[in-house]
Amino acid sequence: MRAAYCELDKWRFDPRYTQGTCPICGWAPEGAPKAPRWLAIANRVDWELLGLFLLADALIVFGLVVAHAAGLLPAR
Ligand SMILES: [Zn+2]
């Protein structure tokens, strides 16, 4: 089900982009999705934790680069 029709307002809308409700009166069609599929997946990811791990990875890489340039790593 893509589009929903609000009889009260005579208004056709896509519940995926209106949090699953009619944007005028707030009527919620039965079984309407609250978000598009990509947004539902993106909302499930913890972006702050992911960013923290990526930052930690980047800092380790930069640290290795600096240590290599400063000659702190054991020579092969
Ligand atoms: Zn309505």
User: 36 and 12, same structural domain?
Assistant: yes
Strands (E), the chain: 4-6, 11-13
Verify that 52 and 30 share a domain, yes or no.
no
Quote the CA–CA distance of 32 and 2 in Å, as a whole number.
8
In the numeric block, the tokens 């039965």 are attached to 30
Same domain, yes or no, for 37 and 3?
yes
Rounded to whole angstroms, the Cα distance separating 18 from 35 reads 8
Condensed to tens digits (0 to 9), the pLDDT of residues 16-75 reads 999 899 999 999 998 888 888 888 898 899 999 999 999 999 999 999 999 999 999 887
Distance from the alpha carbon of residue 30 to the mean position of ligand 1, in angstroms: 13
Q: What is the distance in A from the centroid of ligand 1 to the CA of 34?
A: 16
Same domain for 13 and 1, yes or no, is yes
Same domain, 53 and 35: no
CA of 35 to the centre of ligand 1 (A): 18
Reading the block at residue 12, the tokens are 């056709």
Q: How many domains does the chain have?
A: 2
**Displacement of CA 50 from its chain's centroid (Å):** 11
53 with 38, same domain: the answer is: no
If asked whether residues 4 and 37 sit together in one domain, one would say yes
Whether pLDDT at 1 is above 80: no
What domain range is 57 assigned to? 46-76
